[in-house]
Homo-oligomer: A and B are copies of this chain.
């Protein structure tokens, strides 16, 4: 079976830091296939990385090991976590990066997934000399190789009950009104919200109204090209969440919107 390891970091494409992680992984797990999730997370932006991780992981096969290193406190007392959730394995510093992996199913209206998390304490998998500034290479990469080769997360350290999470309120629903917020702004300026697409499909989607930053959008579209270039639209995006975009332009720029910007959705009355 192919062992897949994905890497998500804020190291940038101009550094050799991602390559050094791959060098270590391939030394210890020569058959692993390493896939770059992205190395262009805005520096230290744990919120953006948490969304990227939670939304991209489901495209991969069960058993994939996802390594996320956005780690401003590297070398400090923060813990390193290994987690199993939804039949995927995750490695990340304990700084909120796993918030949305844990919460994803909840956002999408299902039950919270079974998950198990350990705090890594077993240093026998680390590289011989661990630097204090590059745990991606010296701790995360060798751990990923071990997990991809079949090491159980329990061998890495004791199970923990609570991990760092940032606050991601669920949408608030009051009769026909849903209040949510922007969870992620993609590189094109599309706004991904915390409102599950399914919720909007309960009633006539063409009669839904979305209020955001002084603008009103009437009706859900299917595709960008349902509206003219330069026009606002709302639709259910590829992560199953409602998104707001401007066809061929940036909704973030148009609306001055960012992570946390609030939206209100008005559903038509039940018929």
CA distance A124 to B165 in the complex (A): 40
Q: Is A23 an interface residue (CB 8 A)?
A: yes
A 1-37 to B, binary, CB cutoff 8 A, 1 in contact else 0: 1101010100111111001111110110011011111
Q: Is A111 an interface residue (CB 8 A)?
A: no
CA distance A14 to B13 in the complex (A): 10
| B residues near A238, Cβ cutoff 8 Å | 20, 131, 133-134, 137-138
Q: Tally A residues with Cβ within 8 Å of B.
A: 64
Copies of this chain assembled into the complex: 3
- Contact call B19/A31, Cβ cutoff below 8 A: no
- Closest residue of B by beta carbon distance from A197: B131
CA distance A4 to B25 in the complex (A): 12
CA distance A100 to B142 in the complex (A): 27
Pick from A71-79, A115-123, A150-158, A261-269 the stretch touching chain B. A71-79
- Contact call B6/A61, Cβ cutoff below 8 A: no
Tell me whether chain A's interface is mostly helix, strand or loop, or mixed: loop
- Closest residue of B by beta carbon distance from A30: B2
Q: Which positions 57-80 of chain A face chain B at CB distance < 8 Å? A: 59-61, 64, 72-76
| B residues near A188, Cβ cutoff 8 Å | 12, 15, 43
Within the complex, what minimum Cβ distance (angstroms) separates A154 from chain B?
26
- Contact call B39/A22, Cβ cutoff below 8 A: no
CA distance A64 to B30 in the complex (A): 12
Checking B16, B27, B35 against A61 with a beta-carbon cut-off of 8 angstroms, the contacting residue is B27
- Contact call A19/B1, Cβ cutoff below 8 A: no
Contacts A19-B59, A23-B56 known; 5 new A-B pairs at CB < 8 A: A72-B225, A75-B222, A131-B237, A132-B236, A133-B243
7 closest residue pairs by CB, A with B: A75-B223, A23-B59, A134-B238, A16-B56, A23-B60, A20-B59, A14-B40
Residues of A within 8 A of B (CB): 1-2, 4, 6, 8, 11-16, 19-24, 26-27, 30-31, 33-41, 43-44, 52, 55-56, 59-61, 64, 72-76, 131-134, 137-138, 186-188, 222-226, 235-238, 243, 248
